[in-house]
Amino acid sequence: MASKKIFGIVLAGGEGKRLMPLTADRAKPAVPFGGVYRLIDFALSNLVNSGLRQIVVLTQYKSHSLDRHVSTTWRLSGMLGSYVASVPAQQRLGKRWFSGSADAILQSLNLLRDEKPDIVVVVGADHVYRMDFNDMIEAHIASGLGVTVAAIRQPIALADQFGVIELDAKNPQKIGAFREKPKDAVGLGDSPGEILASMGNYVFDADVLIDAVQRDGARADSNHDMGGDIVPDFVARGQAGVYDLNRNDVPGATERDRFYWRDVGTIDSFFDAHQDLIAALPVFNLYNREWPIFSQQLNSPPAKFVRDGRNAVGTAIDSIVSLGCVISGGHLERSVLGPWNTIDSGARVVDSVVFERVHVGENAIVQRAILDKDVVVSPGATVGVDHDADRARGFTVTDSGITVVGKGEIVS
The binding site for alpha-D-glucose 1-phosphate consists of 163, 180-181, 198
Task: Give the residue numbers of the binding site.
Answer: 163, 180-181, 198
Q: Give the C-alpha separation, 61 to 72, whole Å.
A: 19
Q: For residue 220, what are the contacts with CB-CB under 8 A and spacing of at least 6?
A: none
Q: Give the C-alpha separation, 60 to 184, whole Å.
A: 36
**Is 258 within 8 Å of 250 (Cβ atoms)?**
yes
Spatial CA neighbour of 370 closest among 396, 344, 333: 396
Encode 64-98: b = buried (16+ Cβ within 10 Å), e = exposed.
Answer: ebbbebbeebbeeeeeeeeebebbbbeeeeeeeeb
Q: How far is CA 99 from CA 61, 103, 193, 200, 293, in A?
A: 12, 6, 36, 18, 31
**Is 280 within 8 Å of 409 (Cβ atoms)?**
no
Q: Give the C-alpha separation, 84 to 78, whole Å.
A: 10
Q: Give the C-alpha separation, 240 to 232, whole Å.
A: 8
Q: What is the DSSP string of 223-284?
A: ---IIIIIHHHHHHTT-EEEEEGGG---TT--TTTTT-EEE--SHHHHHHHHHTTSSSS-SS
**Is 226 within 8 Å of 102 (Cβ atoms)?**
yes
**Is 279 within 8 Å of 318 (Cβ atoms)?**
yes
Strand partners, 366: 349, 383
Encode 322-341: b = buried (16+ Cβ within 10 Å), e = exposed.
Answer: bbbbbbbbbbbbbbbbbbbb
Task: Determine the Cα angle at 144 with ends 220 and 49, to 5°.
Answer: 90
Q: Which H helix or E strand runs over 210?
A: helix 206-217
Q: Give the C-alpha separation, 290 to 287, whole Å.
A: 9
**Is 240 within 8 Å of 178 (Cβ atoms)?**
yes
Parallel, antiparallel, or unpaired for β 353-354 and 326-328? Answer: unpaired
Question: Is 373 exposed, middle or buried (CB count within 10 Å of its CB: 0-12, 13-18, 19+)?
Answer: buried
